Amino acid sequence: MARTVWDSSVGKKTVMAVSGIVMLLYLVAHMIGNLKIYFGAGEFNSYAHWLRTVGEPFMHYEWTLWLIRVVLVVAVVAHATAAYQLSRRDIKARPSNYVHKKARTSYATRTMRWGGVILGLFIVWHLLDLTTGTVHSGGFQEGHPYQNVVDTFSTWYGNVIYIVAMLALGLHIRHGFWSAAQTLGAGGRTRERFLKGAANVLALLLTAGFIAVPVGVMTGVVS
């Protein structure tokens, strides 16, 4: 049954919707946590340490954090795989160009695929930069996330990569939230305007919230 559902277009769209919601919930929590950087190094570093002790003593040190990471990896892989397969299926179903041009779609809709690629590459870079320190611009300090963040956004390329990725994220959420609602049956004529409005507000808040961190470093508010 699982294979039958996965092989269908409806099944793949459902997987994309559910995995997208999982990632969206994480992004909201992640953005709120990131904004703690405005309260100083002590609070930000304490928050990062708290993430590793959530659930203790029932959960061992970092077990909850690793559980969250596993869930996110599964969500990202499922989302990307379903998106790729749906895209390939769409191309195979329409091998030739339309005689009549399709109605102009929104910028977010037309850039969903490229936006997904940009976000995928950004996730890899972000992990190598602030989790493992492999490509970190300064001397990566384990257990000192505040200083690591300041180091990253003290470089022009760190700011450019992050801001471009967050703009792509905003466009992705703007279209994806509404699309997920339609897939899961939450859409409808009476709720369409509300869902589109909610998608716009959510995309704007998340984009602004994430970009606030590098802006804070660039302006010297966070240093």
Could you tell me how many helices (H) and strands (E) the chain has, helices first? 9, 0
Residue 2 lies in a domain: no
Closest C-alpha to 169, from 207, 223, 134: 207
How many folded domains does the chain comprise? Answer: 1
Burial class (CB in 10 A: 0-12, 13-18, 19+), 176: buried
Dist CA 114 CA 191 (whole Å): 29
Containing domain of residue 145, as a range? 10-92+103-219
pLDDT of residue 96: 58
pLDDT at site 206: 97
Within a domain: residue 1?
no
In this structure, are residues 119 and 172 in contact, taking their beta carbons and an 8 Å threshold? yes
pLDDT for 94: 67
- Asked, for residue 5, whether it belongs to a domain, the answer is no
Instruction: Quick: pLDDT tens for 143-166.
Output: 899 999 999 999 999 999 999 999
**Is 98 a member of any domain?**
no
129-138 pLDDT, tens digit per residue, is 999 999 998 7
Tell whether 192 is covered by a domain: yes
Tell me: the pLDDT tens digits for 185-197?
A: 876 777 788 888 8
Instruction: Find the CATH number of the domain harbouring 199.
Output: 1.20.1300.10
Q: What is the pLDDT of residue 118?
A: 92
As a dihedral over the C-alpha atoms of residue 196, residue 199, residue 204, residue 210, rounded to 10 degrees, the angle is -170
24 lies in a domain? yes
Q: What pLDDT, on the 0 to 100 scale, is given for residue 88? A: 83
Residue 175 exposed, middle or buried by CB count within 10 Å (0-12, 13-18, 19+):
buried
Question: 61-120 pLDDT, tens per residue?
Answer: 999 999 999 999 999 999 999 988 888 887 777 655 555 555 555 555 567 778 888 999
In a domain, 164, yes or no: yes
Residues in CB range of 123: below 8 A, 6 or more apart: 76
What pTM was computed for the model? Answer: 0.88
Alpha carbons 16 and 80: distance in angstroms, whole number: 8
pLDDT, tens digit (0-9, with 9 covering 90-100), for 164-180: 999 999 999 988 888 88
Is residue 183 included in any domain, yes or no? Answer: yes
Cβ contacts of residue 186 below 8 Å, gap of 6+? 195
Cα separation, 148 vs 129, in Å, equals: 9
Alpha-carbon distances, residue 148 vs 45, 132, 140, 206 (angstroms): 11, 11, 6, 22
Q: Give tens-digit pLDDT for 6-52.
A: 878 889 999 999 999 999 999 999 999 999 999 999 999 999 999 99
Asked whether residue 54 carries a pLDDT value surpassing 80, the answer given is: yes
